[in-house]
Amino acid sequence: MSEEQTGSPLLPARKNPWSWVPTLYFAEGIPYVVVMTVSVIMYKRLGISNTDIALFTSWLYLPWVIKPLWSPFVDMFKTKRFWVTTLQLLIGVSLALVALALPLPSFFQGTLAVFWLMAFGSATHDIAADGFYMLALDQHQQAAFVGVRSMFYRVAMITGQGILVVFAGTIETSGFLGSAGGDIPFAWSMTFGVLSATFLLFFLYHQFVLPRPAVDRSTRQDPSGSMWQEFVHVFVLFFRKDRIGTTLGFLLLYRFAEAQLVKLISPFLLDGRDRGGLGLSTTEVGLVYGTVGVIALTLGGLLGGYLVSQRGLRFWLWPMVIIIHFPDLAFVFLSQVQPTDPSLIYAAVATEQFGYGFGFTAYVMYMILVSEGEHKTAHYAICTGFMALGMMIPGMFSGWLQDTIGYRHFFLWVILSTVPGFLVAAFVRIPKEFGRKKLNDG
């Protein structure tokens, strides 16, 4: 059989997953990292307080929290492929609108409004993209490509919070296209313009390269039937799953510590040493956190995906639980010592990010496990909604808490916050062979 099979409407157009999984998850990662992380760095450089940054950017998680409310409609209408490409166009336009809003006097309100639009588009795109992934690949391929999808999701993070932050930092200090050096709004406006153009190129690429699996179709079999009955049925099936209380506890609390840590990493790196931070420049943050840190996180995710495909999730669950939490001590070290040696800062950030990438593999595979069965696209979206809620609530108070107790005590609190993650992991049940590549799969 050739790599791409055409000529029959009953057969899927089969393409090598390497031709579309990397770019699909790059496109999924860009708007998320922009809304959740790049916006934090940008607002910090534009003079917004840690309390406001953490509160308002954490509210931007809400579309991901409530996306299960409309995930059944993505299943019921059109194909996942249609939703993916259409929403990529919307997101590209949203990125351009941010660039246009930044020079305005009311930039904070204006950009937040556009980020809301982008967040809703991105959350819906996630539903379609993750559903498309599960429809186009069988189970062992899903396990094998967990690391790959994570890797290119992290490439998007490197592009967003690494390369583009360095780009913005360079314009901030040196000027560009006639701007005076130090024009921070102009620097970020240019950065979002470049990002919009790049994202639109990916939209055009996916119009041609995404496969067309035969199983990618509307799940609404009876158009004359009650749409709301189908909608409710999807949720009823999810909440009737075995041990649903344990599942929800794991989804909400596994990353309780990381949800707080991630909101304050960039402000900590940017804040002056007199305020308990490390006093790095925008460009330096782009390098240490947005590039080196994300590369380490990516390597952790790749290794995690590979190991799960070899021995299964059940075997690797506890090592992943330990490794996602233990390296948070790196930020206790950085906040207590405030080292000036760049190699120590790079090593500490890379260690924490590698552990996060490795341990997060267990979370992704557990969501895939929970979603197995009827309506897997919608059920996976429900899982990711609870995942977002687990990041949103701790993130909302993290900025206020840090402003109140300072960075040194805040990172000690983060270590205490790892306890719920260990507790919920003790109660989950994983089938012995889940995620493991079978010998006859080749």
Cα 285 from Cα 114, distance rounded (Å): 25
pLDDT for 177 beyond 70: no
Cα 129 from Cα 157, distance rounded (Å): 17
Q: What is the mean pLDDT of residues 117-133?
A: 89
CB 128 within 8 A of CB 381: no
Residue type, 115: F
Q: Distances in Å between the alpha carbon of 436 and those of 71, 383, 392, 440?
A: 28, 21, 32, 12
pLDDT for 352 beyond 70: yes
Query: Quick count: other Cβ atoms within 10 Å of Cβ 8?
Result: 9
Q: What is the mean pLDDT of residues 93-118?
A: 92
Phi, psi of 10 (to 5 degrees): -85, -10
pLDDT for 314 beyond 80: yes
pLDDT for 26 beyond 70: yes
Q: What is the mean pLDDT of residues 146-173?
A: 82
CB 172 within 8 A of CB 187: yes
Would you place residue 376 in the very low, low, confident or very high pLDDT band (cuts 50, 70, 90)?
Answer: confident
Would you place residue 11 in the very low, low, confident or very high pLDDT band (cuts 50, 70, 90)?
Answer: very low
Give the distance from CA 403 to its chain's centroid. Answer: 26
Burial class (CB in 10 A: 0-12, 13-18, 19+), 254: buried
Indicate the average pLDDT of the chain.
85
Q: What's the CA angle centered on 426, arms 420 and 427, to 5 degrees?
A: 105
Taking the model in full, what pTM does it have?
Answer: 0.73
Would you place residue 413 in the very low, low, confident or very high pLDDT band (cuts 50, 70, 90)?
Answer: very high
Residue that has been written with the tokens 């590209």 in this structure: 92
Q: Distances in Å between the alpha carbon of 143 and those of 26, 138, 308, 310, 339?
A: 18, 9, 7, 9, 40
CB 160 within 8 A of CB 38: yes
DSSP code for 11: S
Give the distance from CA 255 to its chain's centroid. Answer: 13
- Write the DSSP assignment of 251-267 as a string of letters: HHHTTHHHHHHHHHHHH
- C-alpha closest to that of 75 among 130, 20, 142, 138: 130
pLDDT for 219 beyond 90: no
Query: Quick count: other Cβ atoms within 10 Å of Cβ 265?
Result: 22
Cα 9 from Cα 214, distance rounded (Å): 8
Cα 280 from Cα 344, distance rounded (Å): 13
Residue type, 112: L
Check residue 2 and give its pLDDT.
37
Check residue 131 and give its pLDDT.
83
Each residue of 237-275: pLDDT tens digit?
Answer: 889 888 899 999 999 999 999 999 988 998 999 999 999
CB 125 within 8 A of CB 31: yes
- Domains recognised in the chain with CATH numbers: 17-212+227-441 (1.20.1250.20)
Cα 55 from Cα 395, distance rounded (Å): 7
- Locate 113 and state its tokens: 């409004």
Cα 415 from Cα 396, distance rounded (Å): 18
Residue that has been written with the tokens 């005076």 in this structure: 180
